[in-house]
Structures are given as structure tokens and as C-alpha cells.
Amino acid sequence: MYCSHCGAEGAHNFCSQCGRPLTGDIVSAEVIEDWREEVRYAVLLHFGEVRDQIAAAAAQARQGMTGEQFLELADKAFVPLGGISLVTVSSLVVPLYARLGIQTGKQRVAETTAPIGQVIVTAVCSLAKFGRELKRVQQAHDGCVLQATLPSDWRSFAGELVITIEHAPRDNHVVTRIQAHAKIPGQWYDWGKSNQCLNQLFADVQGLAGGELRASA
């Protein structure tokens, strides 16, 4: 049984993560008809099919991280913030980056008709496949933010990839919007590393999540 606000597992009167009362406010995986429409990261991880997909992707990583190891990181990365919006999450995260002097390398924004839960899972699978350790997941009521490491290599120091996935209204329907920032501090050039990681992420979203992927302003 999971808290309907933050998605954390709960069994008593109050959620152990966000502190919300659980009376009449818990959900079960059995009552969720399709996890692909689910926005809560912690709830998604409770589905065996989702965990199998992530484990299989992690097994492809060249750096040798096992599926079990990546799933352990994925479980620990979740940070429940209650029923706030991604606008609020961004207002907390962006000033922190500015104080740390982290500069944006490359960024990309696109929209897809694929369900938001499938896009979140596909993004996590992409991180696992390319050996990008998931460090933190911040939940909002309309989406989530994934923060992962970009390992150092011959082209650059270690950096960070921040992925925001959210519902976005378009005309008379709702699409899934994905925005990704590659940040590598301490260098003027990254010799194509940022663009490469963005290409890989968006190619996976296009190929695995399904649905048309369009660039967004």
C-alpha cells in the first residue's frame, strides 16, 4: 500500500516519508489499471514489470553495474516533497545550482504523446543503460525531476544530467513534456559529451516510450 501523495509505502496511520495521514488515503498496485499513466516515481518502482525493465537496462551498462545495484540506487534516490508542482520544485533546485556555480552545458526540450509513467521509466532505463548513476528524484504532483551523474571520461570531468518530466496541456489534450540539462562544471568545452548524452536519452524516449516526439520551444 502506498501514500497517494508521495508514493512511499505505508502501513500505519501516517506516511513515514511525507507525514501525511494515511487513513482513507492509500492506494494499492492492484487498483492501478495501467502503470504507464502513473506519475509517482515511488509507485512505479513497486511494479515488477518496471523493475525488470530497469534491471535489464542496467545489465547493458559497460561499467558493469548490475540490475540489482542500480535498483538499490533507484530506491534510495526518491525524495518525497508532497503535493507541490514542478514550478515549486524548480524554484528550490535552480538557486542551489546558481550558488554552487554550476553552469548549464546543453539543454533540450521535447514533447511526446506517450504516457508520462512510461516516459519516466524509459528515462530511468536510459540512465541505467549508459551507466549514469541516479542520485536524486524529486516528486511533484504533475511530474518529477531526475538527477543523475555524468561519469568523467577522456572528454570531461564528471557532470550532472537533470531531467524534468511533466504533464503539459496542448490544445484539447495533455502531452508529456521532457526537458533535460547536461551540466559539466569547470570546463569551457566538453567535446560533444553533453550533446551525446542528450541524443541518447531522447532517442530512448522516442524508441522505447513510443508516441511521436516533437521538439518544444
Q: pLDDT tens digit string along 11-30?
A: 555 565 555 555 544 445 55
The SS3 of residue 36 is: helix
The SS3 of residue 152 is: coil
Q: What is the spatial distance between Cα 193 and Cα 156, in angstroms, rounded to a whole number?
A: 8
Most confident listed range (67-71, 91-95, 125-129): 125-129
pTM of the predicted model, to two decimals? 0.74
